[in-house]
Structure 1
Amino acid sequence: MGQQPIVIDPAGRDIHGEAAELRRHESVAPVELPGGIRAWAPTGFEVLRQLLADDRVSKDPNRHWPAWQEGKHRDGWVNTWVGVTNMFTAHGADHRRLRGLVAPAFTKRRTDALRPRVEEITATLLDRMAAVPDGRADLRAAFAHPLPVAVICELFGVPEDRRADSARLVSEIFNTAATPQEALATLHEVHAFFTGLVAARRERPADDLTSALIATRDEEGSRLTEGELVDTLLLVVSAGHETTVNLIGNAVHALLTHPEQLARVLDGEFSWNDVIEETLRWSPPVANLPLRYAVEDIELPGGVTLARGDVILATYAAAGRDPRRHGPDGDRFDVSRTDKEHLSFGHGVHFCVGAPLARLEASIALPALFDRFPGLSLDDGAAPAEPLKTFISYGFATLPVRLARNTRPGPAAVDVPSRVRT
């Protein structure tokens, strides 16, 4: 990389500012990730889509990242992301094998069967919010977070008394500003947590997906190693936490900061599906996803060649607002937009298996929330919504709101934090 790299902020304080800087390059931009990792970042929609579907791009560091093979970068945040063995870090036949074990749990039929339970959890959370005496709440803590956490934990049999621990550990996994010591401690605790879950379910099987995976492992051990089993649980539970939490929170924040669009949705002019897909494009739950590697030299537009072994960062935030795809107003939230195509659930063989579940949960949660609280607004008497401190996720650590029930939002101007201002 002869060009000066763009240094990515570990705390993700200006995700979309960095994305705009990336897009000044024609196809890919050199970046430096936390820990001094040099990588290439696709700068727009088309190049990212090309690389996500290219079989010359791998996610297996053990086979295709020379620095990792040499023992480098094993003491920081990246170890939690690439130092695991599951379908997230697999390539080729290994990826097909591991994905094949998990994908049947997330088919449309099985996902649709979860609708009554998602509706039940949603109603319970809204009842609790309605009972708050002063009509004020942190929407993430009270609603956006506990809904998908409850769903994914029930699916995989995480006991109720351990769900707070699982949520805390997932949050720490996404903390890319952690010190190497903190990241290592998190990795050890995460593996202890899921190893314990496997042991408990092996001793007392139940009607959950962890027990089903254990049965596969124990009956057909050649298909799933014990390490793969533990790391697969880590992947699906953590992904089930983070993506939908941010999708719901980002959609609510987008609507509350664009009240004229919220009014049109509540009037039925646009659908909740329009809201969900525009949120995924404009404010993707995952902004940047590490890591991929060039299996061989790959020529890209603009005369750039990714050399064999080069690292690639998947840049969903940059792609979502790419003006070359979405026009000069690509950085504007607009539920009436005709082309809402995005890559926020990935593309190609690594497309997110949980995408139908995330969409289902959001499609239930959002209309139910605004039906119960049609006058919902940001709480201007509280501290501003606090962004997550990570360059991987994109969302809010806190989202203070007022729960007015009987008024519609008007066209008054709303102050938007600089991180998400359009």
Structure 2
Amino acid sequence: MENPHVIDPFGSDVQGEAAKLRERGPVAPVELPGGVAAWAVTGQEQLKRLLADPRVSKNPNLHWTKYINGEIAEDWPLRLWVSVRNMFTAYGDDHRRLRTIISRAFTPRRTEALRPDVEQITRDLVDGLAASPGGRADLREAFAYPLPIEVICRLFGVPDETRPALRRCVDGIFNTALTPEEAISNQVEMYGILQEFVAFRRREPADDLAGVLIASTDEDGSRLSETELVDTLILMISAGHETTVNLLDQAITALLTHPRQRALVRSGEVPWSEVIEESLRWQAPVANLPLRYAVEDIDVDGVTIGKGEAILAAYAAAGRDLSLHGDDADLFDLTRANKEHISFGHGVHFCVGSHLARMEAEVSLPALFSRFPDMALAVDPAELRPVESFISNGHRTLPVDLNS
């Protein structure tokens, strides 16, 4: 790959970097942290085709040449993203087996049964915000973060005392600016927490998602191995809340920085469902997702992704694809006729938690803005700082004046 764009591990300007990648075409060579080469696919139609193409794999042990040849360092900061053994990194029959197990446990009916919990958690959080000293609060810390993590922890039965350390480790997984030493330390701690959690849940069985997965392992070890069990918990708990945190964060930020759009929602001219979909398009909660691999040479609009080469799904760039959304793709516009996006993925790896994320947003966002109709950012929008990640697309803090 010649002249690759070097990805900023700090994610200092996700959309600025996405624009630079789009300028190089729908498929562009990039260099990931650690000097790892990949192809970033930024065109939405091109990315959709690849995500649905059976010639594209997520299993590095089978299809990533550099990984197979031992050229990816053991202390590569992103190694956990490719080394886990769960449906996120599975291919073919193996993926279908793991996906089936998860889908049976993570059903829309089980998700919808959580709606009363989501409503109660939202009420509690909004009441807590109302008591904020001076009417000022950090909405990421006090609203966007605690809602999804409380929901996912209830869904999986994670004990209260385990949650703070687990949250810290999940943040570390998405922090792509960690040093190799920090990444390994975080990975070791994460595995320790979840292995201990599995042992606890075996001692004290419960009718939660962790219990369902453990039962699948214990009843028939060929269905879900112990390694796959723990790695599946890593996937479901981390992806199950981090993306929703960013969805809420970015939707709130969008409305607070676009008063005319906010007025459309407030008047009832535009439903909250449109806010959610435009937010997902405009600021994909996962900006870039590592990694996929070409099973054979694949031609994408004249660019050849060679057999065994890595592919980065550039969701933030795809959401603002000018060929699909026009010259105003960078604008947050709730009246936009076409809000098509693939922020939850596409094809066989489409996010199983998309229904839950949307439900949390459709419950919590109206409740927040109804309770605090005059809410405003407490800082200039230019002062908002992104989380240190080229994967996770959110803000470190979201300070607001609740009663401006």
| TM-score of the superposed pair, with normalisation by structure 2 | 0.98
**Superposed displacement of residue 383, structure 1:** 9.6
Answer yes or no: is the 8 Å Cα contact 2:105–2:213 preserved in 1.
no
Map residues 193-204 of structure 1 onto 2, 5 A cutoff: 193-204=193-204
Structure 2 match to 1:245 = 245
**Aligned counterparts of 1:382 and 1:314: Cα–Cα separation in 2:** 28
Structure 2 match to 1:387 = 386
Structure 1 match to 2:178 = 178
**Aligned counterparts of 2:138 and 2:23: Cα–Cα separation in 1:** 37
**Aligned counterparts of 1:22 and 1:205: Cα–Cα separation in 2:** 49
Structure 1 match to 2:69 = 70
Per-residue Cα deviation, 1:239-285 (whole angstroms, up to 9, x for no partner):
11201000001000000000111011011010100000000000010
Query: 1:382/1:32 Cα in 2 relative to 1: closer, same or farther (>3 Å)?
Result: closer
Aligned to 1:178, what secondary structure does the other structure show?
Answer: coil
Q: Which amino acid aligns with 2:66?
A: A
Structure 2 match to 1:304 = 303
**Superposed displacement of residue 382, structure 1:** 11
Answer yes or no: is the 8 Å Cα contact 1:167–1:241 preserved in 2.
no
Structure 1 match to 2:167 = 167
**Aligned counterparts of 1:344 and 1:232: Cα–Cα separation in 2:** 21
Per-residue Cα deviation, 1:133-152 (whole angstroms, up to 9, x for no partner):
31000001100000000000
Aligned to 2:15, what secondary structure does the other structure show?
Answer: helix
Answer yes or no: is the 8 Å Cα contact 1:62–1:69 preserved in 2.
yes
- How many equivalent residue pairs? 403
**Aligned counterparts of 1:183 and 1:237: Cα–Cα separation in 2:** 18
Structure 1 position 5 matched with structure 2 position 4:
yes
**Aligned counterparts of 1:197 and 1:159: Cα–Cα separation in 2:** 8
**Superposed displacement of residue 371, structure 1:** 0.7
RMSD across aligned positions (CA): 1.3
Per-residue Cα deviation, 1:205-254 (whole angstroms, up to 9, x for no partner):
11211111111100011111000000000000001120100000100000
**Aligned counterparts of 1:43 and 1:67: Cα–Cα separation in 2:** 23
Aligned to 2:29, what secondary structure does the other structure show?
Answer: strand
Structure 2 match to 1:417 = none
Per-residue Cα deviation, 1:370-406 (whole angstroms, up to 9, x for no partner):
01101111013899322111000101110000111xx
| TM-score of the superposed pair, with normalisation by structure 1 | 0.94
Structure 1 match to 2:220 = 220
Q: Which amino acid aligns with 1:371?
A: S
**Superposed displacement of residue 21, structure 1:** 1.2
**Aligned counterparts of 2:257 and 2:132: Cα–Cα separation in 1:** 23
Query: 1:42/1:382 Cα in 2 relative to 1: closer, same or farther (>3 Å)?
Result: closer
Aligned to 1:387, what secondary structure does the other structure show?
Answer: coil
Structure 2 match to 1:35 = 34
**Superposed displacement of residue 80, structure 1:** 1.3
Structure 1 match to 2:119 = 119
**Aligned counterparts of 2:382 and 2:200: Cα–Cα separation in 1:** 42
Comparing 39-48 with 67-76, greater Cα deviation is found at 67-76
Structure 1 match to 2:256 = 256
**Superposed displacement of residue 113, structure 1:** 1.3
Per-residue Cα deviation, 1:112-162 (whole angstroms, up to 9, x for no partner):
211111000000011111011310000011000000000000111110111
Aligned to 2:254, what secondary structure does the other structure show?
Answer: helix
Structure 2 match to 1:44 = 43
Structure 1 unmatched ranges of 5 or more: 408-422
**Aligned counterparts of 1:76 and 1:155: Cα–Cα separation in 2:** 32
Structure 2 match to 1:54 = 53
**Superposed displacement of residue 51, structure 1:** 0.7
**Aligned counterparts of 1:221 and 1:380: Cα–Cα separation in 2:** 53
Answer yes or no: is the 8 Å Cα contact 1:291–1:313 preserved in 2.
yes
Aligned to 2:3, what secondary structure does the other structure show?
Answer: coil
Structure 2 unmatched ranges of 5 or more: none
**Aligned counterparts of 2:85 and 2:260: Cα–Cα separation in 1:** 46
Q: Which amino acid aligns with 1:195?
A: Q
**Aligned counterparts of 1:207 and 1:112: Cα–Cα separation in 2:** 16
